[in-house]
Amino acid sequence: MRPFKRLISLEQALSLTSTCAVPTKKTERLSVVEAIGRVSAEDVVSKMSVPPFPRSAMDGYAVRARDTFGASKLKPIRLSQGEAIRVGSVPKKALTKDVCAMIATGAMIPKGADAVVMVEDTEVEGKAVLLHESVHPGQNVSRKGEDITPGTKIISYGQVLNPSKLGVLAAVGRDEIRAYAKPLVGVVSTGNEITELGSELGPGKVYNINSYTLCGAVSANGGQVRMLGIVDDTVEDIERVVRENSDCDILVFSGGSSVGERDIMIDVLERNGKVVFHGIAMKPGKPTLFGTIEEQLVFGMPGHPTSCLSNAYLLLTPVLRKMARLPPQRPACVPARIAKRVVSTTGRTQFLTVRLDGDIAHPAFKESSAITSMAFADGYVVIPADVDLIEKGERVTVYLL
């Protein structure tokens, strides 16, 4: 068994993984509907004006503003009614002096008109309309191109496509966009004791947990998961997986924390790429191996389910989001007070799961091999490496799971 030579800090580990993570260059054409939450791989410049014609911003009457000057509730101005202009239609004739045209919100302003009086400020009297307010030229009218003029860059390369960005694409008639592909993350569980869900559990065996927790964390952070199942921990089998999945942007192995297995992963990395670090001063998550094979990142996560998943949160998702060109996650967090004194190991960052009862955080960590350390918790507290004690009642920030 090769011992850890030197543990590096979590901060150093994050810096090294980030340096190795190359933002994806793979792109794909997506429909506007599919593109939600994705990252644009192009600048989109509008070829058209939005609105494409001057239109009414209100239900009311299109007028020549100067015909309305001086109108008030006490001294309304009377105009004769011309045509009624519905949305989606083209006015039949130009507006002439002292004539108004009933117009709907979004309908085309007729030639000759330059303003709209809101319906609330009018009163119909036979074939005439009384105006109770005057309007200035341009009032209640959206000019052609007021929203978007031709040549306006409406989407920039690298922007995340939120609902309003889909809307601005739709506004100029774009029904698809080139977006960055989701990084492909191959997820592998190793170990002779691991049994796939749906199979009977033999003596000495346990079910595959890590593939499912990793799958959840990856898919929630912009990655596409390739489930690679359970692989024997032999150099031949691990190398076969590496060779067959060279199209993955990231390979995540979990397990390999038992006698000899870690050595296998190190050997495979040294033969096919390089080991960047092995061993992080954190708890849980210490026996973590990280390396690269060309631009592919390879994580060797501890087999303990809570160590594996806390590593996924602290180490994997930041680089996954960088490769996906997504902004860093803004983890939801709440302030709380710790329910009892917590002693931490100086020199090791601690990932402490907690249950919340109002604003009181009760430590929920049992052991790193227990999935309930995490599954029965509401969130976690990160205790920095230089802190060795949190007193009962001290304020902490709880990151919600």
Restricted to residues 288-317, the positions that interact with its own copies (CB under 8 A) are 303-305, 309, 312
71-79, 196-204, 264-272, 381-389 -> range binding its own copies (CB under 8 A): 196-204
> Minimum Å distance from CB 105 to its own copies?
5
Per rule CB under 8 A, is residue 191 in the interface with its own copies? yes
Structure-block tokens of residue 112:
């000759």
Q: Which of 45, 94, 128, 170 binds its own copies (CB under 8 A)?
A: 170
Per rule CB under 8 A, is residue 266 in the interface with its own copies? no
> Closer to its own copies at the Cβ: 183 or 255?
255
Per rule CB under 8 A, is residue 263 in the interface with its own copies? no
Per rule CB under 8 A, is residue 5 in the interface with its own copies? no
Q: Which of 146, 237, 263, 388 binds its own copies (CB under 8 A)?
A: 146
Block residue for tokens 């009624």:
84
Q: Which of 2, 11, 19, 36 binds its own copies (CB under 8 A)?
A: 36
177-185, 202-210, 291-299, 340-348 -> range binding its own copies (CB under 8 A): 202-210
Per rule CB under 8 A, is residue 168 in the interface with its own copies? yes
Q: Which of 16, 144, 174, 224 binds its own copies (CB under 8 A)?
A: 174
19-27, 64-72, 73-81, 163-171 -> range binding its own copies (CB under 8 A): 163-171
Per rule CB under 8 A, is residue 40 in the interface with its own copies? no
Q: Is 289 exposed, middle or buried (0-12, 13-18, 19+ CB in 10 A)?
A: buried
17-25, 65-73, 198-206, 238-246 -> range binding its own copies (CB under 8 A): 198-206
> Minimum Å distance from CB 168 to its own copies?
4
Quick one: which of 77, 71, 61 has its CA closest to 113?
Answer: 61
Per rule CB under 8 A, is residue 206 in the interface with its own copies? yes
Quick one: which of 233, 238, 216 has its CA closest to 225?
Answer: 216
> Closer to its own copies at the Cβ: 4 or 360?
4
16-24, 69-77, 84-92, 390-398 -> range binding its own copies (CB under 8 A): 84-92
Q: Which of 41, 107, 115, 293 binds its own copies (CB under 8 A)?
A: 107
Per rule CB under 8 A, is residue 94 in the interface with its own copies? no
48-56, 72-80, 238-246, 387-395 -> range binding its own copies (CB under 8 A): 48-56
> Closer to its own copies at the Cβ: 53 or 69?
53
> Closer to its own copies at the Cβ: 273 or 331?
331
Q: Which of 90, 126, 328, 391 binds its own copies (CB under 8 A)?
A: 90
**Gyration radius from the chain CA atoms:** 32
> Minimum Å distance from CB 308 to its own copies?
9
56-75: b or e for each residue (b if 16 or more CB lie within 10 Å)?
A: bbbbbbbbbbebbeebeeee
Residues in 338-367 at the binding interface with its own copies, rule: CB under 8 A: 366-367
Per rule CB under 8 A, is residue 203 in the interface with its own copies? yes
